[in-house]
Amino acid sequence: MLGLGLLLLSVIALPAPASAHHILGIPHYKYGTDYPQIPFVEVQATVEQYDMAFTYFPGTPKPGEAVRFKLYVRNRDDATAFKEPLTVSIYQKTWIGDDKLLVEDLPITVGVGPEGNDYKFFYTFDDAEAYEVRLNFPGSNGPEHIPFPVGIGETDDRPLIAGAILLLLGAVVSVAVIKRRQKKRAKQRPAARTRVADEAAIDGGEVEALGSATASEDLESRRAS
């Protein structure tokens, strides 16, 4: 099953952010009162003083099925809901290279009535893949792009898991090779210093021997004269 396993891999694959937003925990299934037999997925995040709850229904959507997305943004300082217009971009995840852009800057607004504090939009995905809905949020230091993972359809997770394991093993092997090279270089440095010292000692000995030989020759010459 693609489901939560693929969502977890999507979260692992996210780059470490150098910005003010944070994804809290991992995506998880929940059950609502309207359709208690069908789960939805919730992902929580924070941006500066704002808390976000991003959900989509159904929690295990199929290709070609309309997915309902909802987003609730609350200011934790005064508990008020954020209601300014926002946009989202939708990407198909790729494990090598850049993600594939499907929709750019889709406008979303809050609803009315009971859902007056929620942003709601729909989207239909064609293929059983891992996707990402990136919320474009106006942070105090510039736009923040918060990635929310979305898994569509069912497929075999084993190739993805095997790929993740191979990436991890590759990283471990790379670190081991680097450490081995560093140790080898560290051992070579004292050996090189010893060799230089030995060569210097040999050179000094040769000079001393040459000086002694020269002195002896001078002495013999004086005696002969």
50-57 and 66-75: which strand pairing?
antiparallel
Token couple for 5: 């396993």
* Domain span at 212: 157-225
Shared-domain flag, residues 137 and 177: no
CB-CB neighbours of 136 under 10 Å: 16
What is the chain's pLDDT, residue by residue, as a tens digit (225 residues)? 444 444 544 444 444 344 455 666 566 666 666 666 677 888 899 999 999 999 999 888 999 999 999 999 999 999 999 999 999 999 999 878 899 999 999 999 998 767 678 999 999 999 999 999 999 999 888 889 999 999 998 755 545 555 556 666 777 777 777 888 888 777 776 655 656 555 555 555 554 554 555 555 554 555 555
Give yes or no: residues 28 and 116 share one domain.
yes
144 & 213 share domain: no
The helix/strand/coil state of 208 is helix
The answer on 115 and 144 residing in a single domain is yes
Sort 58 into a burial class: Cβ within 10 Å, 0-12 / 13-18 / 19+: middle
Task: Please state, in angstroms and rounded to a whole number, the distance separating the CA atoms of residues 208 and 213.
Answer: 9
Verify that 113 and 192 share a domain, yes or no. Answer: no
Domain count, the chain: 2
Q: Are residues 82 and 146 in the same domain?
A: yes
Least Cα distance to 27 among 43, 12, 40 occurs for 43
CATH of the domain at 70: 2.60.40.1930
Last residue within a domain, chosen from 155, 170, 196: 155
Contact 129, 93 (CB under 8 A): yes
CB 181 within 8 A of CB 34: no
Same domain, 194 and 103: no
Asked whether residue 150 falls in the same domain as residue 217, the answer is no
**Do 220 and 120 fall into the same domain?**
no
Give yes or no: residues 32 and 143 share one domain. yes
- The residue out of 110, 133, 155 marking a domain boundary is 155
Query: Looking at residue 70, what DSSP letter applies?
Result: E
What predicted TM-score, i.e. pTM, was given to this entire model? 0.59
